[in-house]
């Protein structure tokens, strides 16, 4: 995650994170590392904390994200122009050669609707790794 995006996230979450002795930066970094695939043992060792502190920080951040209106998932999928704007922003942010992506999640199978032949050049390109 780019530093500027991390700082923006911390700024958004700070008002909703409890003041538990840790700065808002620390629990946010702990949660992102764990949610990014880090083992709880590695996260605890990296931050010098015990597992109960790590899990408390994780759930505090999850609760703060869920309570922050600016972080709500409202893709407005019914609006074609909005989808194209999301895809353009995602593509430019990630410097990706893949177009028409509005976000990326890992570890979850998400059913997607295949576009019509008239909407894209190659319909086969629109499937996920699980074939759904």
Instruction: Name all contacts of 42-50 with Cβ < 8 Å and 24+ positions apart.
Output: none
pTM: 0.59
pLDDT digits (tens, 9 = 90+) for 73-125: 766 777 888 878 877 777 776 666 666 666 665 555 556 666 777 777 776 66
94 or 3: which leads in pLDDT: 3
CA distance 53 to 49: 6
Q: Are 27 and 57 in contact (CB under 8 A)?
A: yes
CA distance 121 to 23: 49
Tokens of 8: 């923006």
Top-confidence residue, 119 or 7: 7
C-alpha–C-alpha distance, residues 69 and 72, integer Å: 5
Per-residue pLDDT tens over the stretch 55-76: 999 999 999 999 998 888 766 7
Confidence of residue 28 (pLDDT cuts 50, 70, 90): very high
Q: Are 64 and 16 in contact (CB under 8 A)?
A: yes
Where do the structural domains in the chain lie, given as residue ranges?
Answer: 3-71, 80-125
Rounded to the nearest 10 degrees, the angle between the axes of helix 51-66 and helix 25-35 is: 90
Phi, psi of 27 (to 5 degrees): -60, -35
Region 36-49: mean pLDDT is: 90
Q: Which CATH class is domain 3-71?
A: mainly alpha
Residue pair 9/36 in contact (Cβ under 8 Å)? The answer is no
């Amino acid at each position: 995650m780019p530093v500027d995006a991390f700082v923006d996230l911390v700024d958004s979450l700070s008002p909703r994170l409890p003041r538990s002795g840790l700065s808002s930066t620390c629990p946010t970094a702990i949660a992102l590392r764990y949610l990014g695939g880090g083992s709880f043992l590695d996260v605890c060792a990296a931050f010098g904390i015990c597992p109960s502190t790590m899990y408390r920080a994780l759930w505090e951040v999850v609760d703060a994200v869920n309570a922050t209106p600016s972080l709500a998932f409202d893709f407005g999928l019914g609006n074609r122009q909005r989808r194209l704007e999301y895809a353009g922003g995602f593509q430019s942010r990630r410097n990706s050669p893949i177009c028409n992506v509005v976000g990326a999640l890992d570890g979850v199978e998400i059913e997607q609707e295949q576009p019509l032949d008239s909407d894209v050049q190659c319909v086969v390109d629109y499937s996920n790794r699980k074939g759904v």
